[in-house]
Amino acid sequence: MIARYTRPAMGKIWSDENKYRSWLTVEAAASQALAKFGLVPQDAADTIRDKGNFTVARIDEIEAEVRHDVIAFTTTVAEHINNPEHSRWLHYGLTSTDVVDTAQALQLKEASAIIHTGIVGLLDVLKRRAVEFKHTPIIGRTHGVHAEPSTFGLKLLLWYAEVQRNLVRFDTAAEDLRVGKLSGAVGTFGHLKPEHEEAICAGLGLKPVAIATQVVQRDLHAAYVATLAVLASTLDKIATEVRHLQRTEVREAEEFFSEKQKGSSAMPHKRNPIVSEQISGLARVVRANAQTAFENVALWHERDISHSSAERVILPDSTILIDYLLAKTTNLIDKLLVYPARMLKNLESTGGLIFSGQLLLDLAESGMSREDAYRLVQGHAMNSWKNDLVFRDEVAKVPEITARLSPEKLARAFDYNRQLANVDAIFARVLGA
């Protein structure tokens, strides 16, 4: 992932330095645990812990020759230990993936903590702004066409509820991946025992995976990346709505536009939704990465490495992007410019056509058959639309309607507050009393 989209804390997790540091953490934890079982001399375990070290440059130099990153790593660590009697106990009883998969769990645990914090931060902003615009009327649109009144607060509340679901899904997927694996070349504990694995994992703050081959099974990783893809889709959904609301013809809300910001090299008037478009674009990358994660589930027999190269791309990139997208979306909503007057103007722009459904119900309640009421209301609605008439005024001239609905009842049919009477109840459902 290019630096443009990488925030420092998340980028550090996926650096080569931190990857190898995580490998060394696993090696040291394994030596200490095995020393307690009497399998590794305690002084050797202590030396591995205290003197084990590396440089990325030296690992790269050795890997260029041996073409095996874990061997290059253990060779480098042994050089730093500089004591053959102690370094021979490094990596005792382990296979490469015991270290790589377990260390990757440590990296994902770090990354997940940052993402969790980002989701919670977005929830806080969505909740605050939903309450702020709880009763701000806006036209609801279906198929992009004016439907019935809603509130801008309900739009934000809907996003809040969806992000809440994303948080639950994400925490579950992250917890499922908080597992270590030290069961050997085909997962049979050919050289160590399950209790050894349990002790090593406990020292690392991980759970031992119940069963593995040479690798932790990749359905867990697929579920994790898929959850990130769903989260990215929610952020895309929010951004897409902002893009629609910012259209010149709508102009109900727009991204914050700083004093020195420029919208176009050719057109000085432009204020483009560039942040929202960036969110939508990068969300596509995360969704695409989920497909690769699905492909990684099927491996040959007890293991091949077709998943490995792909994961070196999709795991850092997906977590880095989600971290970036959460920050962008949180800032987008926090600073979103909202125009209630324009919302109300748009709501009233059709001359009351949006209340056709309420008028239909009121006529049916008055005793008119639904079929007759529908034909009557639709006929005048289509005529008002076609001839750019004020629907509210037109129906007030229709004897079949005025004979059944008094001026007060007719006015009530066109009162948006009537249709928004349950907004508080919806908020209570989502946020609690």
Active site residues: 143, 264
CA gap 48, 25 in Å, rounded = 10
CA gap 51, 13 in Å, rounded = 23
* Token reading at 295: 């492909």
Which residues are 179's β-sheet partners? 207
Do 42 and 35 meet the contact criterion of CB atoms below 8 Å apart? yes
| Nearest residue to 419 via CA among 222, 138, 91 | 138
Centre a 10 Å sphere on the Cβ of residue 84 and count the other Cβ atoms it contains.
8
* Token reading at 336: 């979103």
Q: Write the CB contacts of 321 (distance below 8 Å, at least 6 apart in sequence).
A: 1, 5, 232, 282, 285, 286
φ/ψ of residue 253, rounded to 5: -155, 160
CA gap 413, 400 in Å, rounded = 16
Provide the pairing of β-strand 207-208 with 179-180.
parallel
DSSP 296-346: TT--STT--SHHHHHHHHHHHHHHHHHHHHHHHHHHHHHT-EE-HHHHHHH
